[in-house]
Structures are given as C-alpha cells and as structure tokens.
Amino acid sequence: MKRILTVAFSSLLILSLTNTACVKVDFNETEIVDTSTGGGTTPTITTLTGRIDQSLSLPKGKFTLRGFVYVGSGVTLTFAPGSVIVAANDVKTALIIEQGGRLVADGSATQPIVFTSSKAVGTRAPSDWGGISICGFAPTNRSLDH
C-alpha cells in the first residue's frame, strides 16, 4: 500500500511540474534563513522563510516553514529522506515553487519525507497551512489584465 501511495504521489508531482501554471505575486520578500551552530562551527538551517535564491540541499532533520516561502527560478530545494517539514501555524504559510524552480523530496517507505502542520497531533486539520504550490509553464485561461 505504501509503495502504491509513493508511486501515485511521485506521478502526481511529475504531472504537476509539467502541467501547472501560476501567476507570480511579488511581495518584495528577501531570503531569511535562521541558523544556529548547534555547538559546532557549521551553521544548521532550522527555519525557512521568504525567498530562496540559491540551491539548497538539507540533511535529514526537522525544518520549519514560516510564512510564504518561495523557491526561485533555476533554484533547487532538496530535503533528505526521513525529514519532517512543519508549517508554522501562527502565520499563513505555504511553499511556492516558482516557474523553473525545483523541489526534490525523494523519500522512501522506510524514510518518508513528511510535510505537516506544526499543531499537535490530534489537533491538525485541513487548511492548517497553504500546502505546496508548483508553478509550471503551462498556459492558463486567467487574464493578466485585472
């Protein structure tokens, strides 16, 4: 069953990458990545917020999305298998992959990558966060003249 779900999600993700279109909204946000040394000398990223303009490959761990997080064109955001990505619930939060951007979240049955709300288990509900929007190059019937 898990294998079927993994294959179905992968197919849906690939289909979304090739057949989705979005209208870009510029909020003039800048990249802010909170880091802490964790006792070492190499910073460890724990929170993603704003705009990501450089490719980023994150190790297995727990990460927080805060606010609208944009992955720019030509940029790849990669989460390692076994990672847990929680969306802050004190602000409107979503992960937005812009046209030409990439999200690599290649988990497995034994090390899934989980995207979820930061609310406690049992209190989570649909619409706790905005989810993942993947903006492709497909045409849309929405007029750009408002």
> Per-residue pLDDT tens for 5-24?
554 455 454 444 444 444 33
Helical spans, DSSP H, in 20-87: none
pLDDT in tens, 33-57: 444 444 444 456 789 999 999 999 9
DSSP state of 26: -
How many CB atoms are closer than 10 A to CB 23?
Answer: 10
Largest CA distance in the chain: 53
> What is the reported pLDDT for 53?
94
Give the DSSP H/E element, type plus range, for residue 70: strand 62-71
Q: Using pLDDT thresholds of 50, 70 and 90, give the confidence band for residue 138.
A: confident
Q: What is the DSSP annotation of 84-122?
A: EEEE-SSS--EEEE-TT-EEEE---SSS--EEEESSPTT
